[in-house]
A = this chain, B = another copy of it.
Amino acid sequence: MTDRTDGDKRMSKGGKPTGDVFDIERIRQIVELMEEHELSEVDLQQGDDKIRLARGSAAPLYMQAPVAHAAPMAAAAAPPPSGAANAASAGTFTINAPMVGTFYGRANPDSEPFVKVGSIVTEDTVICIVEAMKVFNEIPAECRGKIVEVLVGDQQPVDFGKPLFRVEKLA
């Protein structure tokens, strides 16, 4: 049956109609937006109307979370980006956890943090401690730059590859 009773070919819920999905002009505008901002995919849906556009090597589709009681993945468990550079913020990259453990931003509760936003780090600068198996491992920056964001909270569990700090390259 091509016209299910529930299929309301409706206008947009608010005032204005969604208009013709097949309107070339609108598609062109979206595409230009994609190019400008290096989007790989746009997927718009409203009721039965749908516009999906993909550029470049089709981005992998991730499965949605399992049904109902299936557990969401732990925050710490998000598949970490392996490298450093992250396209989302040009000119910056992240320092990632080299091991599993608990993150400490300061040597002890009364100390100053090893680094703060604005700190300049070099290869040997200790930026945090990751504690595992009762060993407090001092983590060096292993790069040069300026800390622009601290990405994990104190005493938060981190795993291998977890981004810890965002760093801006210094010229």
| A→B interface (CB under 8 Å) | 2-4, 6-9, 11-14, 16, 18-22, 24, 26-35, 37-58
Contacts and interface: CB of A to CB of B under 8 A. Distances in A.
A127 to B, nearest CB: 31
B11 A2 contact: no
A159 B32 CA distance: 46
Given A20-B46, A24-B30, A9 B12 contact: yes
A107 to B, nearest CB: 40
Report the copy number of this chain in the oligomer.
Answer: 2
A117 B50 CA distance: 46
5 contacts: A7-B48, A11-B14, A21-B22, A22-B46, A38-B56
B41 A53 contact: yes
B18 A21 contact: yes
Contacts of A54: 39-42, 58
A51 to B, nearest CB: 6
Contacts of A50: 43-46
Given A39-B53, A41-B52, 7 more contacts: A9-B14, A18-B22, A21-B46, A22-B49, A24-B33, A27-B44, A44-B50
Contacts of A11: 14
A24 B51 CA distance: 12
Contacts of A3: 48
